[in-house]
Structure 1
Amino acid sequence: MTTEGPRIRPATPADAPALARAVTRNRAYMKPWEPYRPERYYTTEGQAERIADGGARWFAVEGDEIVGVATLSGIVLGPLCSASLGYWVDPDHAGRGLATALLEEACRAAREELGLHRVEACTLLGNHASQRVLAKGGFARVGTVPRYLHIDGEWRDHHLFQRLLHDDPPPGVPVPGDPA
Structure 2
Amino acid sequence: MPQQQPRVRTDRTQLTARLARASALTAGLALLPLATACSGGEDSAAKSKPTAASVTAAAAAGVVAPAKVEVIANLTGCKPTIRIEADELRQGLCHTKEIDYLITTFPQDEYKQAWLDAAAVYGGKYLVGSRWIVSAKEPEMLEQFRTKLGGTIEQLRGIGPTTAPSSS
Higher strand share: 1
Higher helix share: 2
TM-score range, shorter chain: 0.3 to 0.5
Q: Which has the larger radius of gyration?
A: 2
